[in-house]
A and B are shown apart, each in its own frame.
Chain A
Amino acid sequence: MSARVYLDYNASAPVWPEAADAVDEAMRAGANASSIHAPGRAARARIEDARESVARLVGADPAGIVFTGGGTEANNQAIRCSGAERVLVSAIEHESVLSADEKAEILPVDPEGVVDPEALDRALAGDARSALVAVMLANNETGVIQPVARVAEIARRRGARVHCDAVQAAGKIPVDAASLGADSYALSAHKIGGPQGVGALVLRDPDAAGRLIHGGGQERGRRAGTENVAGVVGFGRAAGIVGERLEEFARLSALRDAMEAELHAVDPEAWTVGDRAPRLPNTSMTVMPGCESAAQVIAMDLDGIAVSAGSACSSGRIRLPYVLEAMGVDEAAAMCALRVSLGWWTTPDEIDRFVASWADLRRRTARRVA
């Protein structure tokens, strides 16, 4: 088998060699960033450089960047520590948002997978309780971009705060925290080619964070625990790199669209979820009718191609596609969706191999069904 084809960037992007080097260097340099001595101050400087780099990626104030143990923690902190009396989340949020508050009210999405701002307006109207609204910037499974600016505008008018999970969007499309208008954002390093286990909560008001992790006064008292210097440095380096490559990333949509057209040509019954809505340039979720996602992912893997059936759970088991259910996709089709996510290293040749593998599987399964 020739080299593996990696088309699962939304699960985790390959690390940038420069980011890996930066992690290595910071880890070897060592020291506790809270220490007063020179090695400690050097570690502190590395963190602050990274903070500025991450802030630049999303147009935020470095003072509002709180490094966390990942996107999940950032989402958890934003929601669990908001102090809001009501939490409203869109139906297609990542599980780290959906699970953060079991009593959260669910906002519907339309058939293209776009959250309905008017539904939010109605939900907020005439309720005096303090509210937090969580709407992601781009969905991890479909890539569909959400009207966060509009959501923030409505929320502000209704006196509610907004948290935005920007884990999948940051570094893939231009993100300007100030103009989007949310009160907080979640980011993750490994989705942009940084190390796993580090993320950030981005705050419009640097002092507005509640505490999730208790202990020392690190991160200006907003996140306890000795700083993950190496991880943060890798995050900063990756943020710098992808921030310079947004135009290049935007061009992936041409490759992605051509790929989808080929799949639709192989099987005219195949269709792509959310393709009439604005999407991330790299994400495609396509239904191969009659062939379950699990079979597709396994068949591709055995052909050396890494793809996904939506978000993977920790045990690697394939779960029910709740995002598609929320969009009103019927269950039979939802069970047959495959997520392909391209990235900075993706080549047309890799897409050709994926399409060939997909077509092979389609032929095998069509024969069985017939």
Chain B
Amino acid sequence: MISLDIDKPRAGARVVVAMSGGVDSAVTAALVAEAGYDAVGVTLQLYDDGAASARKGACCAGQDIYDARRVADALGIPHYVLDYRTRFRESVMEPFAEAYVAGETPIPCVACNRTVKFRDLLGLARDLGADALATGHYVRRLPGPDGPELHRAVDADRDQSYFLFATSRDQLDYLRFPLGGMTKDAVRREAERRALPVAAKPDSQDICFVPNGGYARAVERLRPGAAEPGDIVDLDGRRLGGHDGTIAFTVGQRRGLKVGGTGEPLYVIRTEPEARRVVVGPRAALARSEIALGGLNWLAGAEPPCRPTPVQARIRSARPPAPATLHASADGTATVALDTPEHGVAPGQACVLYDGERVLGGGWIRRAVRP
């Protein structure tokens, strides 16, 4: 039986569980409820999914909401659906499109966690008199001498700490992640053991509101006309070919560059949306050893350290943390000096800073400085 570190008798401790309709949050809800807490399931409707949006004025929920409700029914806990479509559009989808159009590679999941989930839903949980908000994220919240700390999940393949770096200390204090110490296989087994209706449901992939990874099309829908054709040029500005819009390209990308003739494989080095140009070059041109960060969020103490600090920096969700030195400023900006250059540093992505398993904080990648 799990313990959520709430200073209250369990029966009197209300815990709101964010239920997406997937297996992870279903097991989260089961663990919270079975541990004797006053579990309350909440599912957010974030956008119109296909079936619902096809009909004008449709007032129906998609499969995920249905699944979440059936799980809550099976667990015997109250369950509510909140219409967060407007908030999600304003806080996540619009900024996502905005950033893409500006030539960045945004991570909407981070924006969603820190706004829709940990600001709005968390606020609702407080309104409901709840003592904590539990989610199915694979990340650990561990007690430390200066309050709760954020640590990577035990299951390294599932670790979501990269997407949670922007969580504030106040939010972290209120949050619980019961799955952080479990492997995905163990979570599936827990779902099967309880015969939860979603036990066999496949994992969700990628960004929830972008079906099948079609980022460019998603941005097109949000910003009609954003995709304007332009040139693909090399580092010296020579035209190598054409493209149908810079939004289809991100830094480090190799596929989809319809330029031939050069012997060496070419990568997207940067996009220049105003000039409608995609600049390509050899892999070596991607190397960055210094990364400028904005919007630094610091979880290990009240303020980021004022002197250079050794850290491990993760510049993409799929990259392992790499040794680096953090130089933080008081104004929320920072520079991260990498011991070894990285090759996929994309503006708009997060640079998350670790000390071993612990998440120290992180910031948004602004511009990369050549070595």
CB contact between B81 and one of A292, A315, A361, A365 (< 8 Å): that residue = A315
**B81 & A314 in contact (Cβ 8 Å cutoff):** no
Residues of B within 8 A of A360 (CB): 129
Contacts of A315 in B (CB 8 A): 59-61, 65, 81
User: Is A294 within 8 A of B124, CB to CB?
Assistant: yes
Which single residue of chain B is at the shortest CB-CB distance from A361?
Answer: B127
Using Cβ atoms and an 8 Å threshold, which residues of chain B touch A35?
none
Residues 122-139 of chain B, each 1 if its beta carbon lies under 8 Å from chain A, else 0: 011011110000000000
Whether A365 pairs with B127 at a CB distance below 8 angstroms is: yes
The answer to whether A299 and B129 touch across the interface, beta carbons within 8 angstroms, is: yes
Asked if B127 and A319 sit within 8 Å, CB to CB, the answer is no
Neighbouring A residues of B61 by C-beta, 8 Å = 315, 317
Minimal Cβ-Cβ distance residue in A for B126: A368
- Nearest A residue to B127 via CB reads A295
Give CA–CA (A99, B57) in the complex, Å. Answer: 9
Chain A residues with Cβ under 8 A from B83's Cβ? Answer: 294, 317-320
Write the chain B residue with the least CB distance to A299: B128
Residues of A within 8 A of B128 (CB): 295, 298-299, 302
B82 located at the interface, meaning its Cβ lies under 8 Å from any Cβ of chain A in the complex:
yes
Interface size class, chain A: 20 to 34
Please pick, from B78, B81, B124, B126, the residue contacting A317 in the complex, using a CB distance under 8 A. Answer: B81
Rounded to whole Å, the gap between the CB of B33 and the closest CB of chain A is 14
B45 located at the interface, meaning its Cβ lies under 8 Å from any Cβ of chain A in the complex: yes
- Chain A residues with Cβ under 8 A from B311's Cβ? none
Complex: how many Å from CA A235 to CA B40? 37
Looking at the assembled complex, report how far the CB atom of A306 sits from the nearest CB atom of chain B, in whole angstroms.
12
Confirm or deny: A263 has a beta carbon within 8 angstroms of a beta carbon on chain B: no
B75 to chain A, nearest CB (A): 16
Cα distance, A360 to B61, chains bound together (Å): 31
Say which residue of B59, B78, B80, B123 sits within 8 Å of A319 (CB atoms): B59
Closest Cβ–Cβ distance, residue A359 to chain B (whole Å): 13
Q: For residues 263 through 301 of chain A, which have their beta carbon under 8 Å from a beta carbon of chain B?
A: 291-292, 294-295, 298-299, 301
**Does A364 interact with chain B (Cβ within 8 Å)?**
yes
Contact (A314, B80) CB under 8 Å given A302-B40, A361-B127 = no
**Chain B residues whose CB sits within 8 angstroms of the CB of A368 once the complex forms:** 123, 126-127
Closest to A292 in B: B124
Let me know if A38 is at the binding interface, CB within 8 A: no
Which residues of chain A are near B40, meaning CB under 8 Å? 298, 302
**Interchain nearest-CB distance for A73 vs B (Å):** 18
B139 to chain A, nearest CB (A): 25
21 residue pairs from A and B, CB less than 8 Å apart: A291-B127, A294-B80, A294-B83, A295-B128, A298-B80, A301-B78, A302-B14, A302-B128, A314-B59, A315-B60, A315-B61, A315-B65, A316-B80, A317-B59, A317-B81, A318-B82, A319-B83, A364-B126, A364-B127, A365-B127, A368-B123
Chain A interface residues toward B at CB < 8 A: 99, 291-292, 294-295, 298-299, 301-302, 313-320, 360-361, 364-365, 368
Known: A313-B59, A364-B126. 15 other contacts (CB 8 A): A294-B124, A295-B128, A298-B80, A299-B129, A302-B40, A302-B78, A314-B60, A315-B59, A315-B65, A316-B69, A317-B59, A317-B65, A318-B82, A318-B83, A320-B83
